């Protein structure tokens, strides 16, 4: 369904990504991890058209979408959330969802469907500025879903949440995948969470592919243990 081939991105002399290739199957939940500065968010930004790649190709549903603009990519059915909460604070929860539906050029009542799916009916008319972090993240997720996406990209959506909130969020992610058939790519620091959520994952280090394969094999991979668990990313293995 989705693939990158040898994606590289440089900012001046800094190589943020170097020949990153991976594939995601339809209806899969695919994980991406790595230490801080590994290039995870840069990869998302390249995929969604915020940054053009220096070299390489991006494919979605058999079509090359390299160098597409963000609005073009959204209209194809790819939506994302950002690591930093980006809800429109002066708008209500419902209007935030409607913005997603409009940006995705989808039917306005998709916002109502998402409101129910995420259990946000009780805060429908509340301004986003009055929400707690967990609910704000649900609104961000809802705005992406309201575009009627086929591929949902989540950039560290559980950062800052309590363990109870994380477990609730994971249930929602699984429900979106299983009931709606939406393919999901999720960036997450915590390997134990990704291992429980995904069957395959990509681990980046210094902009390069450190590991690509079954999630169950991550803990046994020597390079991951040395670079991620034992070194740069040791504090992110578990919460």
DSSP for 143-187 reads HHHTT--SEEEEESTTTT--HHHHHHHHHHHHHHHHHH--EEEEE
Contact indicator for 1, 151 with CB cutoff of 8 Å: yes
pLDDT at 58 over 90: yes
pLDDT at 239 over 80: no
List, in order of start, the domains of the chain with CATH numbers. Answer: 2-77+150-236 (3.40.50.300), 83-149 (no CATH)
Tens digit of each residue's pLDDT (9 = 90 or more) over 200-223 = 999 999 999 999 999 999 988 888
Query: What distance in Å separates the CA atoms of residue 221 and residue 95, rounded to the nearest whole number?
Result: 46
* Segment among 12-21, 82-91, 169-178 with least mean pLDDT: 82-91
- For residues 79-83, give the mean pLDDT: 92
Tens digit of each residue's pLDDT (9 = 90 or more) over 115-135 = 999 999 999 999 999 999 999
pLDDT at 108: 56
Tell me the whole-structure pTM to 2 decimals: 0.91
- 13 is written with which tokens? 């002399």
């Amino acid at each position: 369904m989705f693939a990158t081939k040898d994606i590289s991105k440089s900012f001046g002399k800094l190589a943020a990504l170097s020949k990153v290739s991976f594939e995601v199957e339809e209806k899969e939940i695919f994980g991406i991890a790595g230490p801080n500065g590994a290039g995870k968010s840069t990869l998302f930004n390249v995929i969604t058209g915020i940054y053009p790649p220096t070299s390489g190709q991006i494919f979605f549903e058999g079509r090359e979408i390299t160098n597409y603009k963000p609005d073009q990519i959204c209209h194809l059915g790819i939506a994302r959330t950002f690591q930093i909460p980006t809800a429109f604070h002066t708008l209500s929860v419902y209007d935030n969802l409607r913005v997603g539906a409009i940006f995705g050029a989808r039917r306005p009542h998709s916002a109502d469907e998402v409101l129910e799916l995420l259990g946000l009916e009780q805060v429908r008319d509340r301004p986003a500025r009055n929400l707690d972090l967990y609910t704000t993240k649900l609104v961000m997720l809802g705005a992406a879903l309201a575009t009627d996406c086929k591929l949902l990209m989540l950039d560290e959506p559980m950062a800052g949440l309590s363990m109870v909130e994380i477990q609730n969020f994971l249930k929602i992610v699984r429900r979106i995948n299983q009931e709606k058939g939406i393919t999901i790519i999720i960036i997450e620091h915590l390997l134990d969470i990704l291992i429980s959520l995904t069957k395959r994952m990509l681990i980046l280090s210094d902009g390069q592919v450190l590991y690509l394969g079954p999630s169950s094999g991550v803990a046994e991979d020597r390079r991951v243990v040395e670079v991620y668990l034992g070194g740069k990313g040791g504090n992110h293995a578990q919460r």
